[in-house]
Structure 1
Amino acid sequence: MQVVHATFASGEGKDAVELLKNLGVEIEDYKLIESKSGDLLIINLLYHNVDVLIDKLKNRFDFTNNVHRSLIIFTPDTVIPSNKEKAKKEAYRASRETIVTYAKENSEMSSQLVFLAVVAAIIATLGLILDNTPVIVGAMIIAPVFGPIATMAIGIVLGDLKLLVKGIVVELSIMGIAIVIGAIFGLIIPNVSITHALEVRMLPTLPDLLVALAAGGAGAYALITHVKSQQLVGVVIAAALIPVMATIGVGISLHNVDMIIGASLLLLGNLFTLLLAIIMVFYFKGLKPQWWYESTAKKLIKKSLVVLTISVILLTIPLSIITYNQMVREEPEDVVRQIYREHFGDELESRLFSIDVKDKKVDIILYTPINTDKHYFKLLSDKIKDSLGADYQVIFEIIPTQRLETPL
């Protein structure tokens, strides 16, 4: 539910009430307070077509240029409706004006947005270089990335080209900031290597697109039902692209073409998939443009859906190849791990530290008792060769352990 507080010059409130009656608004859903200093009309927007009502009020009264008029829309914390059965049937969503206000707030190149983008990019870059996941997640929370993407989607659905262009400009600006900062820190920090966090983002897979699709849908749903929803925090983390942007910058500083291409694929895939999901949810939840934008919106939605769908399909081709290669590469490691777990783990009283299979060579690092018979390693090696092939070479790196008992 949303509540409208509309103020008018003295005597104008009656005209507004007549407009509400013509729209079929029931008397218990509004209250007019008249005074010599001005009229206040309070409207509870629970059972009605919110956008039509607000459009009619704005068309009838000029709230922008008249100092005696104002229009305030807000969402109450708690609602106890008089007609609970009717309230259950209504598919509530935020008004178009509320959604547009959110879009405008997130599409302005303010000093605050630039500051947050710079800070988030610095934190994300350091987290990637240090391979520190909590630091990367912190950067995702700070990064103002989801807002401009949502603004682009809102501009498309409402046929508002200005909003669309603003969203694109802000998103590209944040992208540029993150890439430049990633490149700078990659150059000034000594001995930067490819950490696990960087490797994950330079090898995007199909599940990454599914995450973006789900995050975009969840974000759009949370936004259209309650702009101030706490669920948006989780969406911002899931959909944050700032670490991916920073990875491209680090790849530039390291002259690593694979990192640049991989992270760029992930960035474009996530961006297009997020946009596609948000547009679809907004459209099917009934977010409609004002009537004079209707033809523009229809054209924009059709073109955008076609372009985004084709782009996502094209991006799934290289991502499918990377996903398949990942599966093929990891399969031998899984085989070795299973052999060790089933046949030798308890018997050796050892602990497997890591397995690396590359170019027909299996490197195994083990923590094992200092007096372990070499015969066990020969058996383990034979089992691995039986499963993977006789042409595989198995190399053990043993970290000896010793049990010590302290005297009483």
Structure 2
Amino acid sequence: MDQRPSGFLDQAPERPRRWKSFRRELTDEQRRDILGQLYAEGDDRLPFLRRFAILLSLSVLIAVFGLASDSGPVVIGAMLVSPLTTPLLGLSGALVMGWPRRALESLAILVAGTLWAFVLAYVTLTFIPEPAAITLQSEELLARTQPRMLDMAVAVVAGAAGAYVLVRREAVGALPGVAIAVALVPPLSTVGMLVELGKPDLADDALLLYVTNLAGIVFAGALVLLAAGMRPETHDGRLPRRAKAGIALAAVLVALIAYPLWDVTRHSLAHALDHDEAAAIATEWADDAGLRVQDVEVALHSARIEVVGPDPPPPAQGLADRLAVAFEQEIDLQLDWIPERRTTATGRAP
């Protein structure tokens, strides 16, 4: 068992005024209550693990059904049932308190839960009698394959909210909202589903979103628990070296995850800007020809533009040249024309 720093449940020593204004002291009972929620010891461990496994399994099943059927409310239900927040905040608390054993236990529960959720999502999808092409049209599923830097911000705020509700029981009414914000099971289930569907590249993006949420929640949870008074008590009021190392480790983890996340965000932003510029050029060209742009697709050195109109479009070379000048590179253009035919008639009553 971890050796708690001396005075953990004793009255905290006098601290500088600015620290007192930042937080209020936790009582001994509040600290014991927090520990009881985050860590299962002795005879409580097996029932805790059983509840965790059951709730996680139910959450994954709900998520798979919701993602496959493209149902947002069902996916939200999976978030509400998910128990993954407990080991995450347990890891945050262990890092702050400098408890390596409890940190490893929380991490082990999290890793085991992650692997089980992946396998369960993979297997469950094999029993859903629906073509892969239809499942891959699910907007709820594809939404988990587009991680951005904004998702890291959401994870940090959600982790802070979860830790705050943990230490301030009077805010328990916000718990459902926190569960929805801490979106862990849907992206994790998406990973298993996409692997089963033979889309490993998309699965990697969903995995990045899941890991982003993990890192952001652990880091923010550690900071909030520290600020709320969940910290080792020392005679001089300073944070022990182990606690500082734990918080630094969480910060490094966030930085490591943020790098590939920023790379994905940068490419997505560049693609969106290229699409908008190509659409503007195509619209101007089509207006001059009496046509209407219906669809625009842009790739690295190519573009596909679909226009609709009653008359055939002018030669595509002019549009291709405009795009090449705008993007300062050679562009292979595919121009699709959909003829628009209209008939009119006047009906007369007998």
Q: Deviations over 1:358-394 (max 9, x none)?
A: 253322345x46x255349887666445433553313
Question: CA 1:155–1:90 in structure 2 vs 1: closer, same or farther (change >3 Å)?
Answer: closer
Residue 60 of structure 1 corresponds to none
| Pairing partner for 1:125 from 64, 67, 73 | 64
Is the deviation greater in 330-339 or in 124-133?
Answer: 124-133
**Cα drift, residue 242 of structure 1:** 0.6
1:192 matches 2:132: yes
When normalised by structure 2's length, the TM-score is 0.72
**Cα drift, residue 211 of structure 1:** 1.9
Is the deviation greater in 221-230 or in 206-215?
Answer: 221-230
**Cα drift, residue 184 of structure 1:** 0.6
% of aligned pairs identical? 22
| Pairing partner for 1:240 from 180, 183, 200 | 183
Residue 150 of structure 1 corresponds to 89
* Structure 2 unmatched runs, 5+: 1-8, 13-20, 41-47
Aligned letter for 1:206? M
Residue 297 of structure 2 corresponds to 356
Is the deviation greater in 210-219 or in 157-166?
Answer: 157-166
When normalised by structure 1's length, the TM-score is 0.63
**Cα drift, residue 305 of structure 1:** 1.7
Q: Distance in 1 between matches of 2:109 and 2:319?
A: 57
**Cα drift, residue 307 of structure 1:** 1.9
2:24/2:229 contact within 8 Å kept: no
| Pairing partner for 1:229 from 172, 175, 179 | 172
Q: Deviations over 1:298-320 (max 9, x none)?
A: 34422212222222222233223
1:278 matches 2:218: no
Question: CA 1:300–1:382 in structure 2 vs 1: closer, same or farther (change >3 Å)?
Answer: same
Residue 209 of structure 1 corresponds to 152
Aligned letter for 2:305? I
| Pairing partner for 1:329 from 254, 265, 271 | 271
**Cα drift, residue 179 of structure 1:** 0.6
Is the deviation greater in 313-322 or in 106-115?
Answer: 106-115
2:23/2:229 contact within 8 Å kept: no
* Structure 1 unmatched runs, 5+: 1-50, 55-88
Question: CA 1:280–1:342 in structure 2 vs 1: closer, same or farther (change >3 Å)?
Answer: farther
**Cα drift, residue 290 of structure 1:** 5.9
More strand by share: 1
Q: Distance in 2 between matches of 1:94 and 1:113?
A: 27
What SS does the aligned partner of 1:229 have? Answer: helix
| Pairing partner for 1:306 from 215, 228, 248 | 248
Question: CA 1:141–1:160 in structure 2 vs 1: closer, same or farther (change >3 Å)?
Answer: same
Question: CA 1:336–1:153 in structure 2 vs 1: closer, same or farther (change >3 Å)?
Answer: same
Q: Distance in 2 between matches of 1:341 and 1:141?
A: 45
> What is the alpha-carbon root mean square deviation over aligned residues?
4.0
**Cα drift, residue 269 of structure 1:** 2.9
2:23/2:227 contact within 8 Å kept: no
2:26/2:229 contact within 8 Å kept: no
1:223/1:232 contact within 8 Å kept: no
Residue 395 of structure 1 corresponds to 335
